[in-house]
A and B are shown apart, each in its own frame.
Chain A
């Protein structure tokens, strides 16, 4: 079981959390302006990297707040937790 670091509550066991999948996928401001391909990209297509993954977590059985985290998908080790709205800590380096 992972130990997940909530930016508000500190390190807690994984069963307190719900993983919300890939982070930083902004909902298009005007979906009706998109063509089908761009809308499908938004809804369904994911990076699914073998390496550093930015993902959303919800501390559902704790403070109830969403936050983002960076985790290595091979070792499962977290390298950062940060609040919603913050820039990805390794921004510019994530090209894997």
Chain B
């Protein structure tokens, strides 16, 4: 791996940057790996990276059905924050946020983490109470989050309409200044490049068709579209398709998969300085470095793998966005799409063991997985390498649906998060 630095960039410039090597190899699958990750999104590639870097496991493969980063890693709205209500979630997302802050340096890859601030709007008395409760809970957990008056919110985000006659009056806002955005594709590529350099095989166009089981029912290998691969440890990180993959191991999951939509506007000059979210009207918006307004909509109400979603969902979000920011009414939408998100009954992820020995799962990130990427990957790598969960992901078991010890962020957020 040739590192990016001023001397290497200058040297590259001397021959019009034609001398840069491939960022990662395209290997044939080997017959045996110590660990196989199923799913080549940012969570899966990150898991492979931390397995190699922190746990010295390099005989690792990442199997990806399509191309890396082609699923939800490339379809999200790139928002990063850690202002979650419950201790378990706050700990998990803050673990991720601390890793985000130094990830560009660590990977020697500019993932464009931008701590531009995440502003969550309150439109009703209930919103005010709920968001203030989040602010206080976050402070107890050592997480930055502060309450802003409407005037302070507008000073932080000048495009915001705080007039008394607004359709959705702004009664205040919670601001997490360390929250922001990152370049989602760069996260995938940065992890892939570094994992590959440490010996991880990234195998694309390789779908898992079935699991072979050895003594005691333990995983002994995988049947794939590129042949049989023997292994004793498999980590499934397949997002919306987790139920499909796990069904091939004979397991049912507490998951439902829904299309979650997003859209971008035409690119314009910098007009929007931060991330704004409004849970009550269900809209969130930021501006990418290319200049597009990046807008997140909701999920459809039915299980689907269509990666499209109903247009009335995006219409609903655009109505809310245009009420909050009337100046965006005349902008054109460039494109819209959906990612398939796997949603758990309590809206918290599952990171840990399964009833099948040797089979681990990291799923259920629902509508909010991007922000967790480095933390999710690091604790899942710990779980795979040691066979036991990291303290941060210990509460996020599959077994909690049997014990009843849910982490009910659904009730805390009352909305996609």
Contact = CB atoms under 8 A, between A and B. Distances in A.
Interface of A: 1-2, 14-15, 18-19, 21-22, 36-37, 40-41, 43-50, 53, 55, 71, 73-76
A55 B301 CA distance: 11
A36 B403 CA distance: 7
B244 interface: yes
Contact of A43 (B247, B302, B345): B345
Contact of B254 (A14, A18, A45, A53): A45
A2 B310 contact: yes
Contacts of A76: 302, 304, 306, 308
Given A37-B402, A44-B254, 9 more contacts: A14-B312, A40-B254, A43-B401, A46-B256, A47-B243, A47-B252, A48-B243, A48-B256, A71-B302
Contacts of A73: 257, 303-306
A45 B401 contact: yes
B16 interface: no
B255 interface: yes
Contacts of B402: 36-37, 40
Nearest to B255: A48
B302 A40 contact: no
A33 B153 CA distance: 54
Interface centre among B241, B244, B301 (most CB of A within 10 A): B301
Nearest to A13: B312
B253 interface: yes
Contacts of B305: 50, 73-74
Interface in B294-328: 301-306, 308, 310-312
Contacts, number: 73
Contact of B345 (A1, A15, A44, A50): A44
Contacts of B241: 50
B139 to A, nearest CB: 33
Contacts of B404: 36
B74 to A, nearest CB: 20
A17 B310 CA distance: 14
A45 B345 CA distance: 9
A44 B114 CA distance: 38
B302 A74 contact: no
Contact of B252 (A41, A53, A55, A75): A41
Contacts of B304: 73-74, 76
Contacts of A71: 302
A44 B402 CA distance: 9
Contacts of A19: 301-302
Contacts of A40: 254, 401-402
A55 B302 contact: yes
7 contacts: A14-B310, A21-B256, A36-B403, A46-B243, A46-B252, A49-B247, A76-B308
Interface centre among B257, B304, B310, B312 (most CB of A within 10 A): B304
Nearest to B302: A19
Nearest to B301: A19
A13 to B, nearest CB: 9
B306 A18 contact: no
Interface string B211-228: 000000000000000000
Nearest to B403: A36
A3 B310 CA distance: 11
A57 B18 CA distance: 58
B185 to A, nearest CB: 25
A36 B402 CA distance: 6
Given A36-B403, A37-B402, A40-B401, A74 B254 contact: no
Contacts of B244: 48-50
Contacts of A47: 243, 252
Interface in B228-267: 241, 243-244, 247, 252-257
A53 B342 CA distance: 16
A12 B304 CA distance: 19
B311 A1 contact: yes
A68 B75 CA distance: 32
B303 A55 contact: yes
B84 to A, nearest CB: 21
Given A19-B301, A40-B402, A46 B306 contact: no
Interface centre among B241, B310, B403 (most CB of A within 10 A): B310
A74 B401 contact: no
A75 B303 contact: no
Interface in B395-410: 401-404
Given A45-B401, A50-B241, A1 B312 contact: yes
Contacts of A74: 304-306
